[in-house]
Structure formats: structure tokens, C-alpha cells
Amino acid sequence: MHTRDLSTHDVYEAGRGIEEVARELGREPDEFVKLASNENPHGPSPNAVEALRATADEVNSYPKAVHADLTDALAERWGVDAAQIWLSAGGDGAIDYLSRATLEPGDSVLVPEPGFAYYGMSARYHHGTVETYELSKASDFEQNAETVLSAYDGQRVVYLTSPHNPAGSTASLADIERIAAETHDRTLVVVDEAYGEYADANSAVALLDGRDGFDARDDVAVVRTFSKAYGLAGLRLGYAIVPADWADAYARVNTPFAVSVPACRAGLAALSDDEHVERSVETARWAREYLADEVDAPVRTGEGNFVLVDVGDAGVVASRLRERGIIVRDCTSFGLPSCIRVTCGTEAETKRAAATLNEVLASVDAERDGRPEVSDA
């Protein structure tokens, strides 16, 4: 007995955790700062924490009413029908539901390269295949309609990430509209807005809804998550906003009770804490600028809660940062072996990251020039 052929399936490489790195280096966890997974350095909203505590003795019940409450609150926030909100286990779960709702065996999806690995993984789980469009470093990872349309060849689903991970670039609503208009009627354009709160750009929900001067479309879906600006990554809570005529599809693709009672309650509480989101966004904006100003290497700031830094040899720089207590994301697995992605931390964490990165860059430079490494003990 064996599994089906999984040899073409990728394995998701998560940013490494503090415990894991501390154990490997034989050090204490509190010596480390983790800026590797774009988590919220301010933690969850205090309202969400309180809601989680209060919910502990309710978890013998399946989430029904509370699921409806969160769906209604999100529908109201976005000005769409409740049936257009598909709650899921993280944004990743929403991607799975969209795969289930669209892909027939052998259908293909078009994804950005470099880009978020889960789009392709989800397509393959659902017996689909994966093709890519390139966002090039040479053109600053610019996202426009031509780039996507020139690679488009009838795929069932086209993924856009705005702001993009790991580059931070955004796609304008005019470009997204053009992509949706010039692809086949049966092609769904999925706009992944996992970092939407951090960006200046408007949400692509405007296209679904026919707001802001756009015609209403039935071929765009938006993915959002509570993992980033809301600081609830550990709860696994996200959702898709889907076209109005897909109303009855959710019940046909949804894992029963996919979102837990605590997740629903915490999500509701977090939604009503605008102050926490605003503070999180403000810190990220400050940190992006700070890193761009202070780091002695090219920094692409973008519109997420992270920056992309061109450090030369990402493997070497990431491992030296780790030895000095800073965990960042080596972007080699994204196909960017010269880049690291640094999550925006608190003010203190960000300052420490910039100073430490500069030490590491100087030590690498000194070695390359044949000078003895400057002691930085």
C-alpha cells in the first residue's frame, strides 16, 4: 500500500522558528529575534486574547452561530453578501477552497515566479498543473498586465499577489482588471492580499463589486488573512471573497467546520480593534523606511511588512545573522539566492536587525577583500 505519486509535489519551507534555531545552536530562545515569517511583532490584538480566554469552555460545541457571525461581520466590512465570504483555515485554506471549486484534473494554474509556493502546491493536490510568469529582479519585480498576459495560455486560474511576497510590489486595479478582461471567461483571477492592510493600494474587492468606477466582474476572487496585520497566524484564520454567483459553491467544497470556535471569536474581536491594526501598519511602514535608510545594501521596501535585501550570498548572510541572534528568510528557495527577506519588527528589533546586518555585511566584505575579519565581539 502506498500513496499516490507525490514526487512532483513540493514541500512548503516555512521560516525557521526560534526554538528550532536555538536548539540547533545550543543557545537560549530569548537570545533570538525572529524576522523570518512576516508575523506581527506586536502580537495579537488584546481583544482577541481576551476572546480566546473566554472561549475556552465553549469548545465542546461545533462552530455554527459564531461562524455565521464572523462571516456577517466580514461581509459588512467589505460590502458584499455573506455567501461571498468563504472562511478558511488561513489564507492557505482559502486557496485550497478556490482550487476545489475550479480545478478539473489536468487544469493548469498560472503563478508568479518568484512567488508564494502554496499556489502551486494546492493546484497539484487538486490534480492540476502549474505554469509560471516571471517577475524579474532586473525590472524591480514590477507587476503589470503585459507580464501576466504574455505568459497566459488559457490557464483555469491566474494568481496575483499584491503586495507580492517576497518582493513587496503591487498590481494596480487597472492592470488586474485588464488581466481579468483579456483572459478567457473561464479563467479566475485570484488576487492574494495577505498583506493588503500594509499597502496604500485599494483592494481588488472593488472589481468584484463594481465599485470605484469599475464594472462588476464575476471572474475575480480575493484572498485575505488574519495571519499578518491581525497577528493571528497561530490560529489559522483567513477567507476568500468570491464572485456573487458562486453563492452555493462554498457548502460543496468546504471542510465541515473548517474554522474553530476560538478562531471565529478571536477574529471577530480582532476585526473590531482598528487601533491594533493601525499600530501594526504604522510600525511596518516605519521599519521599511528605517531599513532602507540604514542597511548598507540595496533594500527593496515594497508595501508589505517586510523588505527584500540584496546581500550577495543569502545563505552565508542568513547563517551569520542567525549566529548573532537574528533569524531572517533566506530567499534561495524563492529562486533569489542573493536576497534575504527581513520582516518588520518592533522598533527595537528592527534597529538591532539593521545594526547586526551591517556588521555581517562588513565581515563578509572584509573577508572577500582578504582583510582579517573585524572583531565585533
Binding to ligand PLP by residue 203, rule CB under 6 A? Answer: no
Binding to ligand PLP by residue 92, rule CB under 6 A? Answer: yes
For residues 134 and 144, give the distance between their C-alpha atoms in angstroms, rounded to a whole number: 11
Please say whether the beta carbons of 369 and 360 come within 8 A. no
Binding to ligand PLP by residue 165, rule CB under 6 A? Answer: yes
Binding to ligand PLP by residue 305, rule CB under 6 A? Answer: no
CB of 225 to ligand PLP, least distance (A): 3
**Which of 351, 325, 362, 349 is closest to 41 using CA atoms?**
349
CB of 165 to ligand PLP, least distance (A): 4
Contacting residue, 161, 260, 343, 363, with ligand PLP by CB under 6 A: 161
Binding to ligand PLP by residue 32, rule CB under 6 A? Answer: no
The one-letter amino acid code at 9 reads H
For residues 260 and 269, give the distance between their C-alpha atoms in angstroms, rounded to a whole number: 14
Contacting residue, 44, 63, 91, 112, with ligand PLP by CB under 6 A: 91
Size of the site for ligand PLP (CB under 6 A): 13
Please say whether the beta carbons of 184 and 142 come within 8 A. no
CB of 373 to ligand PLP, least distance (A): 35
Please say whether the beta carbons of 48 and 258 come within 8 A. no
CA 44 to chain centre: 17
Binding to ligand PLP by residue 343, rule CB under 6 A? Answer: no
Written as nine digits, the cell of 142 is 514590477
Binding to ligand PLP by residue 199, rule CB under 6 A? Answer: no
For residues 302 and 308, give the distance between their C-alpha atoms in angstroms, rounded to a whole number: 8
Please say whether the beta carbons of 307 and 288 come within 8 A. yes
Among all residues, whose Cβ is closest to ligand PLP? 90
Binding to ligand PLP by residue 225, rule CB under 6 A? Answer: yes
Binding to ligand PLP by residue 363, rule CB under 6 A? Answer: no
Q: For the chain, state the CA radius of gyration.
A: 21
Site string for ligand PLP, 255-274 (x = CB under 6 A): --------------------
CB of 336 to ligand PLP, least distance (A): 15
> In the chain, where do the E strands start and end?
33-35, 85-88, 108-113, 129-134, 157-161, 188-192, 220-225, 238-241, 299-300, 306-310, 326-330, 339-343
Stretch in the footprint of ligand PLP (CB under 6 A) among 49-57, 227-235, 266-274, 290-298:
227-235
- Toward ligand PLP, which CB reaches closer, 191 or 291? 191
The footprint of ligand PLP (CB under 6 A) covers: 90-92, 116, 161, 165, 192, 194, 225, 227-228, 233, 238
